[in-house]
C-alpha cells in the first residue's frame, strides 16, 4: 500500500506525477488558500503533507497523528513550530537553493525601482502628465553606491555578487558568521551593524524570521541610517518593526523603501506605506517566476516522497536534522 499524503496547493502536472508514483494522494486544486477546517480534516490520516506555508503548531499536529513529514514549498519556515515538531517526531523540509538567484534578481528590482523611482514615474507617464524634461525625475545612482546587506546567507551572497561585480557597488555586510571566502571573491566587507547602517546608501535585510531576528530593525536602526538611504526588504516583514519604518519614512529619517514583504500579508488596505510615493510595494513575489516556482514544487515533492518512503529527505530544515540522527 502506498503512503497517504495531502497536497495543500495546486502543483504542476509533472510534480503531481512524481508524487502519484509513490503515494496515495489528494490535492487542494483551488486558487484560494485552503480553509483551515478543510486542511484539519484532510490531514487526519496522512503521513505526509505538502504545503505552501506550513503553519505547523502543536494544535495542528494533534489533528494529524500519523504525520511523518511536512514539506514546505518555500525556503522560509518560520511557520513551523520546531519544538512541537521535535516532540512529535515530525520532519520538516523546505526548498533552499532553487530560488536563490530569483530572489536576488527581485532584490535588485527593488533597489533600482526605489532609487530611480521607476514605479512612481511609470504612473506619471501612464497618467499623461509627462510634458517635458523636468528636474524632478531625478533619482539616485545605484552603480558605485554602498549597499549594506544584513544577512549573508545563500540569497545574500547572490545579491552581493550582483552588486559587486555587476554594479561595482561597495558592499558591506553583517552576518552571524563572517564569510572570508566571499570577501575575497567579491571584495565585500564585514562590519558592525552600526557601521553598516551609518554608511550605506541602500540597507537590505535578507534574514530568516526567527526569535532572534524578530523586529531586529527598529527605531534605533533607522535613526542611524542616512537621510538619503533606501531600506530594502524581500525576506520577511516581521524582521522589521513596521511602525518604526513608517515613522522613519514619514519623518524623512530615510529617503524611501522597497518592500516585497510586510508584517501582515496580504497587507492591510489602510497601511500608510501604501500611500507613499517613495515606497515600492510588491505582493511577496521574491520567488515568483515560472521556473523557480516549478523547481520549488518539484523539490518539495521529492522531499515529501523521501519522507514517507523511509528515505532521508534532502532538505530537512537544520533545526530538525536531529530527528534523523537519532
User: Which residues are marked as active site?
Assistant: 236, 265, 284
Residue 208 lies near ligand GLV (rule: CB under 6 A): yes
In the bound state with ligand GLV, the residue whose beta carbon lies nearer, of 86 and 154, is 154
Residue 62 contacts residue 40 (beta carbons within 8 Å): no
156, 258, 307, 313: which one contacts ligand GLV (CB under 6 A)?
Answer: 156
CA distances from 77 to 82, 92, 94, 96 (A): 9, 9, 7, 11
Q: Which of residues 267-296 bind ligand GLV (CB under 6 A)?
A: 286-287
What string marks each residue from 226 to 265 as x (binds ligand GLV by CB under 6 A) or -? ----------------------------------------
Q: What are phi and psi of 138, to 5 degrees?
A: -60, 135
Burial of residue 289, with CB atoms counted within 10 A of its CB: 0-12 exposed, 13-18 middle, 19 or more buried: middle
Please work out, in degrees rounded to the nearest 5, the angle formed at the alpha carbon of residue 282 by the alpha carbons of 280 and 288. 140
Convert residues 80-99 into a mask of x (bound to ligand GLV by CB under 6 A) and - (unbound): -------------------x
Of 155, 209, 259, 306, the residue at the interface with ligand GLV (CB under 6 A) is 155
Question: What's the min distance (Å) between Cβ of 172 and ligand GLV?
Answer: 17
For ligand GLV, the closer CB: 205 or 306: 205
The residues near 78 (Cβ < 8 Å, ≥ 6 apart) are 208, 209, 210, 236, 238
Of 47 and 295, CB closest to ligand GLV: 295
CA distances from 239 to 208, 211, 245 (A): 8, 9, 11
Stretch that binds ligand GLV, among 29-37, 44-52, 71-79, 316-324 (CB under 6 A): 71-79
Which of residues 50, 75, 229, 316 is near ligand GLV by CB under 6 A?
Answer: 75
- 4: nearest Cα among 42, 57, 40: 42
Q: How far apart are CA 39 and CA 50, in angstroms?
A: 11
What is the DSSP secondary-structure string of 43-108? Answer: TTT-SEEEESS--B-HHHHHT-TT--EEEESSS--TTB-HHHHHHHT-EEE---STTHHHHHHHHH
CA distance 186 to 143: 15
Give the range of 124-132, 148-156, 215-223, 313-321 binding ligand GLV by CB under 6 A.
148-156
Q: Applying CB under 6 A, which part among 154-162, 177-185, 187-195, 224-232 lies near ligand GLV?
A: 154-162
Which x/- pattern over 93-132 shows residues binding ligand GLV (rule: CB under 6 A)? ------x---------------------------------
Between the alpha carbon of residue 34 and those of residues 40, 62, 66, 103, the distances in Å are 10, 19, 20, 25
Closer residue to ligand GLV (CB): 117 or 179: 179
Residue 256's beta-bridge partner residues?
Answer: 230
208 or 256, CB closer to ligand GLV? 208
Minimum CB separation of residue 310 from ligand GLV in Å reads 27
Identify which of residues 63 and 294 has a Cβ nearer to ligand GLV in the complex.
294
Which residue ranges make up the site for ligand GLV (CB under 6 A)? 74-76, 99, 153-156, 206, 208, 286-287
Amino acid at each position: 500500500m502506498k503512503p497517504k499524503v495531502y497536497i495543500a496547493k495546486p502543483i504542476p502536472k509533472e510534480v503531481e506525477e512524481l508524487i502519484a508514483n509513490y503515494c496515495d494522494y489528494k490535492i487542494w486544486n483551488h486558487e484560494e488558500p485552503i480553509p483551515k477546517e478543510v486542511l484539519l480534516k484532510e490531514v487526519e490520516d496522512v503521513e505526509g503533507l505538502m504545503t505552501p506555508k506550513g503553519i505547523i503548531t502543536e494544535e495542528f499536529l494533534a489533528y494529524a497523528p500519523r504525520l511523518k513529514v511536512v514539506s514546505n514549498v518555500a525556503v522560509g519556515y518560520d511557520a513551523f513550530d520546531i519544538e512541537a515538531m521535535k516532540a512529535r517526531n515530525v520532519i520538516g523540509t523546505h526548498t533552499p537553493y532553487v530560488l536563490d538567484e530569483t530572489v536576488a534578481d527581485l532584490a535588485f528590482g527593488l533597489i533600482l525601482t526605489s532609487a530611480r523611482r521607476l514605479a512612481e514615474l511609470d504612473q506619471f507617464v501612464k497618467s499623461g502628465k509627462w510634458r517635458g524634461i523636468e528636474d524632478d525625475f531625478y533619482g539616485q545612482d545605484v552603480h558605485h553606491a554602498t549597499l549594506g546587506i544584513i544577512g549573508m546567507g545563500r540569497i545574500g551572497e547572490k545579491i552581493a555578487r550582483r552588486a559587486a561585480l555587476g554594479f561595482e557597488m561597495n558592499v558591506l555586510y553583517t552576518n552571524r558568521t563572517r564569510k572570508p571566502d566571499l570577501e575575497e571573491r567579491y571584495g565585500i566587507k564585514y562590519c558592525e551593524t552600526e557601521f553598516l547602517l551609518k554608511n550605506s546608501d541602500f540597507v537590505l535585510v535578507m534574514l530568516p524570521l526567527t526569535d532572534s531576528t524578530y523586529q531586529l530593525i527598529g527605531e534605533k536602526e533607522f535613526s542611524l541610517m542616512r537621510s538619503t538611504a533606501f531600506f530594502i526588504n524581500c525576506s520577511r516583514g516581521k524582521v522589521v518593526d513596521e511602525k518604526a519604518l513608517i515613522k522613519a519614512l514619514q519623518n524623512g529619517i530615510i529617503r524611501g523603501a522597497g518592500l516585497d514583504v510586510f508584517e501582515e500579508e496580504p497587507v492591510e488596505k489602510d497601511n500608510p506605506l501604501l500611500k507613499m510615493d517613495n515606497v515600492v510595494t510588491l505582493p511577496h513575489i521574491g520567488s515568483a517566476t515560472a521556473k523557480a516556482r516549478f523547481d520549488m514544487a518539484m523539490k518539495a515533492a521529492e522531499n515529501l516522497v523521501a519522507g514517507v518512503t523511509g528515505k532521508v529527505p534532502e532538505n530537512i530544515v537544520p533545526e530538525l536534522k536531529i530527528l534523523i540522527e537519532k
